[in-house]
């Protein structure tokens, strides 16, 4: 089997969801007419309201990107300076970096083998008198065990933050994913299912966090004469918000296409010896953000060899999340990182491969990817 397009076209792990360009022009025209480009304008207000409903959350604050949102979430909880935050090493760099940017210490906990999220059974042994919070990541859109984590947090008086970058629109038993824990941070980066080019949001149930988060996002400025807090500039601009309003109208269609692609991949790939497909729990709606597969030891070649062979054919799969955060130069020499027991992470980081996964991926390309995997990449 040959892929017709393989020589002249690069196939990436994702392709951004783009609204109709004519609709974008008309949004830009409105922004030009209004001469209001940023600082919580009309588009910003509309998107905040629309997303609050879409994500079924009580409070939502937009941000200029997911990382600044996460940094601000941690800051808003007033955790004691230098305290420890238990988190996962199986995530994007932004997660532990946000902890460190707050003057706190990430303590890495191993993950659960199916959902690849922080393993609640391994959290308690890491709690010390210096622990202040747990930061879980709903990685690839698989939710953390939110109930078990909340129980541990309540027992030990800890705050809970969720990095929800991968699970736009996910619900657990009909409840918006952004309503669990104290605060959740979403990313609306171009590579995310729902994107505002760059962007993000915080969601939270506690109304009293509203003023704090508003301040932290806007230099701490309350009005022309009052600066209440040492805030940062986390504001989303009107162009980003307009892009989001348009993508909000079309992301469900994109999810439907990805659902079909998932069915195609699932049907064929689940029958291949040596390939495991992690399963999303039945009570959870899928965000359709990533399509990770696990290359087990009984597959004829390794995950890295598969990655290299696809690359030779202009198909760029991704090894999210290899290296694990505990392998980064900036973390690996810390004594607690050296001593951390992370067998599941260290196994899975060498086995996960994210396949191209987006609505406009041609069926022929998906079938070619399947065919190659069925034939040991020969
Ligand atoms: N927490 C978690 C768990 C996250 O995964 C992320 C971000 C964050 C927090 C932080 O949120 P943000 O501050 O980013 O809002 C990408 C994204 O840049 C990053 O947002 C994302 N996670 C991460 C998992 O993936 P890279 O280094 O893989 O990006 P890059 O440039 O290699 O893009 C991946 C592929 O996407 C490319 O091969 C081609 C395609 N692509 C990319 C862009 C930017 C396009 O087709 N068009 C584009 O415009 O990090």
- Which residues have CB under 8 Å from 295's CB, separation 6+? 274, 275, 302, 303, 306, 351, 352, 353
Same domain, residue pair 237 and 272: no
Report which ligand 1 atom has the smallest distance to the Cα of 66: 15
Same domain, residue pair 362 and 298: yes
Same domain, residue pair 195 and 276: no
Cβ atoms < 10 Å from Cβ of 330: 11
Instruction: Using pLDDT thresholds of 50, 70 and 90, give the confidence band for residue 25.
Output: very high
For residue 272, the enclosing domain spans 252-374
Same domain, residue pair 184 and 330: no
Rounded-to-integer distance, Cα 160 and Cα 179, Å? 11
Reported as a single tens digit per residue, the pLDDT across 241-274 is: 999 999 999 999 999 999 999 999 999 999 999 9
The domain that holds 284 is classified in CATH as 3.90.1150.10
The domain that holds 140 is classified in CATH as 3.40.640.10
pTM of the complete model beyond 0.95: yes
Ligand 1 pocket test: pick from 94, 144, 191 the residue with the most ligand atoms within 8 Å of its Cβ: 191
- Which residues have CB under 8 Å from 328's CB, separation 6+? 93
Same domain, residue pair 79 and 186: yes
Q: For residues 52-90, b (16+ Cβ closer than 10 Å) or e, as one string?
A: bebbebebbbbbbbbbbbbbbbbbbbebeeebbbbbbbb
Q: Has 192 been annotated as catalytic?
A: yes
Ligand 1 pocket test: pick from 9, 17, 92 the residue with the most ligand atoms within 8 Å of its Cβ: 92
Q: Of the candidates 206, 221, 248, which is a domain's last residue?
A: 248
Q: What is the DSSP letter of 237?
A: P
Q: Are 161 and 200 in contact (CB under 8 A)?
A: no
Reported as a single tens digit per residue, the pLDDT across 313-368 is: 999 999 999 999 999 999 999 999 999 999 999 999 999 999 999 999 999 999 99
Residues with CB under 6 A from ligand 1: 12-16, 65-67, 70, 91-92, 94-95, 137, 163, 165-166, 187, 189-191, 200, 316, 320
Name the strand (E) or helix (H) holding 153: helix 146-156
């Amino acid at each position: 089997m040959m892929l017709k397009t393989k020589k002249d076209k690069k196939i990436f792990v994702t392709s951004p969801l783009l609204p109709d360009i004519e609709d974008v022009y008309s949004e830009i025209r409105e922004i030009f007419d209004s001469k209001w480009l940023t600082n919580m304008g009309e588009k910003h207000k509309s998107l905040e309201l629309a997303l609050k409903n879409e994500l079924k959350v009580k409070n939502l604050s937009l941000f200029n990107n997911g990382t600044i949102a996460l940094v601000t979430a941690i800051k808003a909880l007033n955790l004691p300076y230098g305290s420890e935050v238990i988190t996962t090493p199986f995530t994007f760099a932004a997660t532990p970096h946000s902890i460190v940017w707050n003057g706190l210490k990430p303590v890495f906990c191993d993950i659960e083998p199916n959902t690849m999220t922080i393993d609640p059974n391994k959290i308690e042994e890491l709690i010390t008198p210096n622990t202040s919070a747990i930061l879980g990541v709903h990685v690839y859109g698989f939710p953390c065990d939110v109930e078990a984590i909340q129980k541990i947090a309540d027992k030990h008086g800890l705050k809970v933050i969720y990095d929800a970058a991968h699970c736009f629109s996910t619900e657990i038993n009909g409840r918006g994913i952004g309503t669990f824990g104290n605060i959740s941070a979403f990313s609306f980066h171009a590579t995310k299912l729902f994107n505002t080019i760059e962007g993000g949001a915080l969601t939270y149930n506690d109304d009293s966090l509203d003023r704090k988060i508003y301040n932290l996002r806007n230099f701490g400025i309350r009005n022309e004469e009052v600066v209440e807090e040492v805030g940062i500039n986390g504001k989303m601009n009107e162009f980003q918000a307009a892009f989001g309003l348009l993508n909000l109208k079309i992301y469900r269609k994109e999810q439907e296409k990805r659902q079909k692609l998932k069915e195609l991949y699932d049907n064929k790939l689940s029958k291949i010896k040596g390939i495991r497909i992690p399963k999303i729990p039945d009570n959870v709606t899928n965000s359709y953000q990533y399509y990770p597969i696990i290359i087990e030891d009984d597959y004829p070649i390794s995950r890295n060899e598969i990655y290299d062979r696809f690359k030779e054919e202009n198909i760029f799969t991704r090894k999210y999340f290899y290296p694990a955060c505990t392998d980064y130069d900036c973390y690996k020499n810390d004594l607690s990182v050296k001593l951390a027991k992370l067998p599941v992470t260290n196994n899975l980081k060498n086995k996960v491969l994210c396949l191209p996964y987006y609505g406009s991926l041609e069926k022929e390309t998906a079938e070619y990817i399947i065919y190659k995997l069925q034939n040991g990449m020969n």
